[in-house]
Amino acid sequence: MLLHLERERRSVTFARRWVMRQAAEMGVHGDAQGVVELLTSELVANALTHGPPDGQITVEAVVVDGSLQVTVCDQGDGSPVVRNPPATSEGGRGVMLVDLLARTWGTTPLPGGGKAVWFTVVVDAPF
């Protein structure tokens, strides 16, 4: 199932709740739920912040080989980069969290421009 989002801040909350419902239906429980919720929020916030103002954002959640894969697509050209900001910085940790907590993650270019940023979390994985 695919979710289409409006380009507004409340879309982060909407996407997070939608993915959590999908995850529960697919058997994601325990600590993995919190990880999915956090990482979904980070990717959607990044798409809102770095994507073009008129571009679409979509979210998809599927189970692949025993892992939940969440994919966020936007029309932005840039790719996410793992940063290590100073402790006093108020931002810049989103992709670092994805890198630390996801089983795997990556970026795939989309035909016609834009990108898909995805992560996987093992279903029922202890953290």
Give the pLDDT confidence score for residue 12 in this predicted structure. Answer: 96
- CATH code of 72's domain: 3.30.565.10
For residue 43, tell me if it sits in a domain: yes
Q: What is the pLDDT of residues 37-48, one digit of tens each?
A: 999 999 999 999
For residue 77, tell me if it sits in a domain: yes
- The structural domain count of the chain equals 1
Give the pLDDT confidence score for residue 91 in this predicted structure. Answer: 82
Q: Judge residue 93's burial from the number of C-beta atoms within 10 Å of its C-beta, 0-12 exposed, 13-18 middle, 19 or more buried.
A: middle
Block means of pLDDT (10 residues each) for the chain, 127 residues, are 93 96 88 94 95 93 92 93 86 91 96 95 69
Could you tell me the residue range of the domain that residue 105 belongs to? 2-122
What tokens does 48 get? Answer: 């809102």
For residue 59, tell me if it sits in a domain: yes
For residue 127, tell me if it sits in a domain: no
Backbone φ and ψ of 15, nearest 5° = -65, -45
Predicted TM-score of the model (pTM) = 0.92
Give the pLDDT confidence score for residue 34 in this predicted structure. Answer: 93
